[in-house]
Chain A
Amino acid sequence: MSFWTVTTILADGFINTGKLFFLTLLGALPLGLLVCLASMSKWSPLAKLADSTSSKAMQWIAGFRPISAVMKFIVWIVRGSPLMIQILIVYYGPGLLFGLPLLPRFTAALLTFIINYACYFSEIYRGGIQSIPKGQYEAGEVLGMTSRQIFFKVTLLQLIKRIVPPMGNEFITLVKDTALVRVIAVYELIWMGESFIKKGMMWPLFYCAVFYLAATAILTFALDRFEKKLSYFN
């Protein structure tokens, strides 16, 4: 089989990898923001208890923030366990536990990636939001701006500037993580590469690395350009 034929077959798998990459970002970037806002939620339904008591235990219960606590727990689980196992759980779990039909492979993989990356992104958003000095909000308030105006005209660009570098790192990791969906036999780049082994060809699998390298190189270049664009202020 010629080099060119192998290239076109791998490129075909690579299109699926690219689809997984972009659809994950499309889902995880907004979902991550929601997870972030939920994990920063100050809602504490029992706050009234604090007024009526001085006991330490009751004070602790009164300060309990259920939404934030649940979200932080989920984020902890998702970030603390291997993505590969999460893929297997989402694909086989519903069937094993409840006898539900299997999701299509690509859908299961995409769903796992969106949830997993949303949890990582939520922490990046949170870091960004918390790193904006309180004085920026207060300066806006004192100048008679609404909270909407403060968000869009004052803090948003500063937030973007702060989250671009860590987000970029996650994007690069995501490119390579897509190879993991091979465990449930989604037809992406690695799966295609491996299929040549049965025909006695080892090199196409190694050739796959070139595709990932090319993708991360382009991504790195684009992210650098974007960072430079925002470097006109501190």
Chain B
Amino acid sequence: MALLEVKNLEKNFGETKVLRDINFTLEKGQTLAIIGSSGSGKTTLLRCLNLLETPDSGSIHVEDEVIFDPSLPAVTSAEAIRRKRLHFGLVFQNFNLFPQYTALQNVELARRLLAEERPDFKQNKKAIYAEIRENAEKLLTQVGLQNRMDRYPHQLSGGQQQRVAIARALALRPDILCFDEPTSALDPELTGEVLKVIRGLAEEKMTMVIVTHEMEFARAVADQVLFMDEGIVAEAGTPEEVFGNPKNPRTKQFLDKYKEM
């Protein structure tokens, strides 16, 4: 059974149909790359998965749990939404690190707050915080920032900030980690260090959904590729199928544009 299942997902902003009949599944440990021109609905799709937007219809399931399904009695309490969100992590295009916290504190914050809800929090506070600290240090080391843990975001380069953001998302151990054009806001010479970290996660079999304009990277890392065009999935398949032998003329057109660059 697939880890993530998205069925007939639709999203409108007023009159604009931004997502129409989106269907896909993702197996545990696999990486899905989403490509498509600007305005095709990629960001909106990720935001629906993370419940930052409420879809208009369709459903989202993670394993047996309903993340979104309007045909069932509505789960609209802020608390329920907050719980369901934890299945997903999201790395933003412009990082969105918390400026008043160091890299380490950025990674620790959400877990420290969640830990307060544990029944044994009061008795084991020290041990719990120590474990969170250890984990955060491990994650920052994993993204190559062992020497930058005490820096504030403004003291870090864009590439370093994005790696902190990845560590921050990983700290909550999401089932599925989503990336929204993680290197688009970076200078070209800094994209490599971020892509390397994501590639490492793919090798460790993290389940990921990556919206990207880095075609070579998508081809190398993804197990599955979706090409989105004006709110629909215009083509889906393995990287070999989509990049090597696109069936939809729109896909061909889109990929040709990238080859020219």
Contact = CB atoms under 8 A, between A and B. Distances in A.
Contact of A138 (B89, B92, B169): B92
Contact of B98 (A139, A141, A144): A139
B16 interface: no
B75 interface: no
B86 interface: yes
Nearest to B83: A144
B178 to A, nearest CB: 9
Given A138-B92, A139-B96, A233-B152, A144 B114 contact: yes
Contacts of A158: 99-100
Contacts of B92: 135, 138-139
B242 to A, nearest CB: 28
Contact of A233 (B85, B94, B100, B168): B100
Contact of B52 (A138, A147, A153, A154): A138
Interface string B153-167: 110000000000000
Interface residues of B, number: 28
Contact of B113 (A133, A136, A149, A161): A149
A183 interface: no
Interface size class of A (residues with CB under 8 A): 20 to 34
A214 interface: no
B99 A145 contact: no
B18 interface: no
A154 B110 CA distance: 10
A17 B244 CA distance: 79
A154 B88 CA distance: 20
Interface string A132-165: 0101101111111111010001100110010000
B172 A143 contact: yes
A142 B52 contact: yes
A232 interface: yes
Nearest to A147: B78
A153 B113 contact: yes
A234 B50 CA distance: 27
Interface of B: 50, 52, 78-79, 82-83, 85-86, 88-90, 92, 94, 96-100, 109-110, 113-114, 152-154, 168-169, 172
Q: In the A-B complex, list the 10 residue pairs whose CB atoms are closest, starting with the nearest.
A: A143-B110, A139-B96, A135-B96, A234-B154, A233-B99, A142-B90, A233-B100, A144-B86, A157-B100, A233-B152
